[in-house]
Structures are given as C-alpha cells and as structure tokens.
C-alpha cells in the first residue's frame, strides 16, 4: 500500500519572537481562489512550516540574514519562499474544487491519519507556540486535508497519461569509454588546465590508445592493461553526458566498433559500443518516460484549471507574515507511522509508491526570555508576538 508523509507537523515547536507583534488576525483573508477564501491562519501555518524547514537546513549556509538577502536582483529570500507558499496554496484549493471530476474523496483511513497527526501536533506544542504559528488543531487538520486531496488528485490525474512506451522509443545503447582529461589537480586541490604542449602530448596518448583498442577483444580489459580506467554508460541520441560530442560519435557505431579520438573542450575520449540495445537501461528509460508523461499531464491539467479560476491575493494581509519576526527550527526524532496516508508523493506533482512518515519531525528554536510559563518547549523574547 502506498503511504505518504503528509507533513512533518506532529512534533514539538519552539518559537522565538524576534520583533513585535505582526498584527495578523487568523480570520483575515490572504487570498481568494474562485469562491474559496484562504484565511490567514492557513497561510501563516504553511508559511511557518516552510520557514522552519529552511532555517533548519539552510541557515547554516546562508547566515542569519538569509531572509533579507537577495536571491535575484530586487527579490529577497523571504519574498521568494512566500511566493512558493502562495503557489502551493493556490494549487491545493484548485485541486479541491475539482475533486468530483476524478471521484476523489477522503477515506476513513485518510481521516484517521489526519486526525492522529493533528492530535499529535496539538499535544506536542504549548499554546504559545501554536498561537504564533496559527497552529490550532482545526488549522492543522485543514492543512493536512488539503495536502492529502492534492496528492490524491495528482495520482488520479497522472494515471490518465499514456503509459505505453515502445522499445524503439525508449531504446538505450551501452558504451565503454576512456577519458583523457585536459585538466589536472595541483598540490592545493585546485583544478588546473594543461598547457598546450601537455594537451598535444595527451592527444598522442589518446591516439595510441585508440589504435590499440580498435582491435582489442575486450575494451575494458585493454584499458586496464594500459593503466587506464574504462567507464560504462548507457545512452540514446538525446543524451548529453559525459559529452555531446562523444554521444554523437558512439551513436554512429555498430556493436563492437570503436571511435576515433573524440575531442571536446574538457577532454579527449575513446569509446566502444558494447550493445546496440541494453534491455535493463531501456526498461528504466520507459519508466522515466511514463513518469514525465504523468507529470506533464498533471501540470497541463492544473494550469488549465488555474487559468479558468479567478485568484486574488490581498497583499496587505500577506505582508504581515514576516520570517524576520520569528525564529523556528526543526529537530528530528523517531516516531511511529501513525500519520501516514494512502496517496502519492509531495507537492511537486510527482507520484511515488513509498515514502516515509516523518510526521514526527520536531521544531525547535533558541530564545531569550524565560517567561514562557505556558509549558512551551522554548522561551520567547516578546510574548506579545503571540497575541
């Protein structure tokens, strides 16, 4: 049975207030999607969950000012991530509006999993933390419901894609090749280009190898005899790795033939076509083609629905959600699989058969105020931010 980690929501959260109260009210409308209102509590909760992921996994690399730093000219990291949160919410509400078209509904198992995850989140967090992130039990259940619907819809839409792929369409060849790199590494580990004289000498070495490999019965064994390493790779005419020039040369060969020296900007190559049809690689390619067709079908269907839907964002309300006013991080701990649900993969739209239930990810934060008297798992510097 397929299982989904609906959201890593069931752990303890600790929230550090960094500025004053944002002034956002849970019942304010952040966005309308068709006839549906996306209220601030839903939007804030998703935003804070996303914020926690980024601060946990990227803050060490991006620094304390990550949210105010620019991702591109004129756009901060905060603005970019908040845009992605809004896009996710738009998608989920649109999917919900079209459930009937695919006979999608929540099963008793889905509802039980959602309720269990929401209950775990509710028990694991103090009232202060929950208030700051709009994490009421009702909000958590609503968010999990939206996500579950989205994933079930993606699975249903993807299933309508053409899943028949012929051997001819997916055919993969197999080659073995030796690389003569035009760069080397100095004593400090830096990559250094060869001189023109060194490149010329290397080309002669590659030519000598090519001459000998042409008549060798076993290309890989011959390379080893020359103290060189032969790499094995499967490909088709549209492949580009390790180099488009090598693919083009190898694709012209019949089984057992060897290329001349293939020149690129970064290396010389010599290759042999080992098989004109690699069955295992071809089957893998078929799976990739079907997966891409499913994704394309999902994207095409969703985009069509969104074009037909009137979507309005209340920028003034959304601007009140600021990642610089709270600090949230996550910590992992092992728990049971209670919050799993039968469905597909994550919000990217791709489907999958198995995922782990990380509904017990914990969220923690450093704080500076000992006044957390409501049995929360972190202190806050400004309890007014919870109001």
How is 132-172 classified by DSSP, letter by letter?
HTT--HHHHHHHHHHHHHHHHHHHHHHTTS-----HHHH--
The pair of structure tokens assigned to 100 is 């009937």
CA neighbor of 44 nearest in space, from 359, 366, 320, 362: 320
Per-residue pLDDT at 23 = 74
- Alpha-carbon distance of 365 to 17, in angstroms, equals 10
Q: Considering Cα of 156, then 309, then 141, then 354, what sign does the dihedral take? A: positive
- The DSSP string of 240-309 is -SS-HHHHHHHHTPPTT-B--PEE-SSEEEEEEEEES--HHHHHHHHHHHHHHHHHHHHHHHHHHHHHHS
CATH number belonging to domain 4-162+290-386: 1.10.4030
- Measure Cα distances from 201 to 205, 208, 378 in Å: 6, 11, 65
Q: What is the pLDDT of residue 272?
A: 98
Predicted local distance difference test score (pLDDT) of residue 17: 59
- Residue 12: the pLDDT is 55
Inter-residue contact 132 to 16 (CB < 8 Å)? no
Euclidean distance between CA atoms 387 and 373, whole angstroms: 15
Alpha-carbon gap, residue 291 to 180, rounded angstroms: 36
How far apart, in Å, do the first and last CA atoms of the chain sit? 43
Contact 270, 262 (CB under 8 A): yes
Contact 6, 339 (CB under 8 A): yes
CA atoms in the 13 A half-sphere facing the CB of 186: 6
Report the DSSP beta bridge partners of residue 273: 175
Question: Which helix (H) or strand (E) segment is 78 a member of?
Answer: helix 77-97
Q: How confident is the model at residue 108, as a pLDDT?
A: 97
Angle at 119 between CA 113 and CA 125, to 5 degrees: 135
The whole-model pTM stands at: 0.78
- Domain spans in the chain, listed from the N-terminal domain onward: 4-162+290-386, 173-276
Shared fold status for 4-162+290-386 and 173-276: no
- Tell me which CATH code domain 173-276 carries: 3.10.50.40
Encode burial over 198-234: b for 16+ CB neighbours within 10 A, e otherwise: eeeebeeebeebbeebeebeebbebbeeeebebeebb
Q: With H, G, I as helix, E, B as strand and everything else as coil, classify residue 323.
A: coil
Q: What is the residue-level pLDDT of the chain in tens, covering all 387 positions? A: 333 334 455 555 545 555 545 578 999 999 999 999 999 999 999 999 899 888 888 888 888 899 999 999 999 999 999 999 999 999 999 999 999 999 999 999 999 999 999 998 888 888 888 888 999 999 999 999 999 999 999 999 999 999 999 999 999 999 999 999 999 999 899 999 999 999 999 999 999 999 999 999 999 999 999 999 999 999 999 999 999 999 999 999 999 999 999 999 999 999 999 999 999 999 999 999 999 999 999 999 999 999 999 999 999 999 999 999 988 876 555 444 444 444 334 444 444 333 334 433 444 433 333 333 344 333 333 443 333
């Amino acid at each position: 049975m397929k299982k989904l980690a609906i959201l890593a929501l069931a752990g303890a959260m600790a929230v550090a207030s960094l500025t004053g109260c944002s002034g956002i009210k849970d019942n304010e409308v952040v966005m309308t999607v068709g006839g549906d209102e996306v209220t601030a509590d839903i939007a804030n909760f998703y935003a804070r969950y996303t914020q926690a992921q980024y601060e946990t996994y990227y803050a060490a690399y991006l620094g304390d000012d990550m949210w105010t730093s620019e991702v591109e000219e004129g756009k901060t990291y905060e603005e970019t991530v908040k845009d992605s949160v809004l896009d996710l919410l738009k998608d989920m509400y649109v999917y919900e509006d079209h459930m009937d078209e695919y006979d999608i509904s929540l099963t008793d198992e889905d509802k039980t999993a959602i309720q269990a995850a929401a209950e775990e989140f509710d028990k694991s967090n103090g009232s202060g933390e929950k208030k700051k992130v709009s994490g009421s039990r009702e909000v958590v259940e609503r968010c999990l419901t939206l996500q579950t619907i989205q994933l079930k819809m993606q699975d249903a839409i993807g299933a309508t894609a053409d899943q028949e792929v012929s051997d001819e369409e997916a055919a993969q060849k197999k080659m073995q090749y030796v690389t003569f790199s035009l760069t080397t590494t100095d004593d400090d580990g830096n990559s250094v280009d060869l001189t023109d004289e060194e490149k010329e000498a290397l080309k002669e070495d590659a030519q000598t190898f090519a001459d000998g490999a042409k008549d060798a019965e076993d290309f890989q064994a011959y390379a080893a005899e020359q103290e060189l390493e032969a790499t094995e790779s499967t490909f088709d005419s549209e492949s580009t790795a390790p180099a488009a020039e090598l693919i083009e040369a190898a694709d012209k060969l019949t089984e057992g033939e060897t290329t001349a020296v293939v020149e690129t900007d970064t290396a010389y190559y010599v290759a042999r076509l080992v098989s004109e049809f690699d069955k295992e690689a071809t089957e893998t390619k078929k799976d990739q083609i079907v997966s891409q067709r499913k994704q394309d079908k999902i994207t095409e269907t969703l985009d069509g629905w969104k074009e037909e839907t009137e979507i309005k964002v209340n920028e003034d309300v959304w601007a009140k959600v600021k990642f610089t006013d709270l600090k949230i991080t996550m910590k992992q701990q092992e728990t049971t699989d209670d919050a799993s649900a039968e469905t597909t993969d994550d919000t990217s739209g791709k489907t999958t058969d198995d995922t782990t239930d990380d509904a017990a990810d914990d969220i923690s934060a450093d704080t500076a105020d000992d006044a957390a008297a409501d049995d929360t798992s972190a202190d806050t510097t400004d309890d007014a931010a919870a109001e």
